[in-house]
Amino acid sequence: MVTYEGSVESRGDLLKGVQAIGVNVISFSPVGLPLEALYMDLVKESR
């Protein structure tokens, strides 16, 4: 298991980069989501 503590916005880039070097990704999900990030995601979806 690998833990990533970067920004929410850069997760997609991280996943693409890992796959580009040939790593087989079986699962990719947040372990915990800070309340502020959850709120911002909900606000973005409501627009």
Residue 24: per-residue pLDDT: 92
Q: What angle do CA 31, 33, 34 make, to 5 degrees?
A: 140
pTM: 0.52
**Which DSSP string do the residues of the chain spell out, in sequence order?**
-----S-STTHHHHHHHHHHTT--------S---HHHHHHHHHHHH-
Which segments in the chain show pLDDT lower than 70? 32-33
Residue 38: per-residue pLDDT: 80
Residue 3 falls inside a structural domain = no
Residue 6 falls inside a structural domain = no
Residue 33: per-residue pLDDT: 65
Q: How many domains does the chain have?
A: 1
Q: Which domain holds residue 22?
A: 11-46
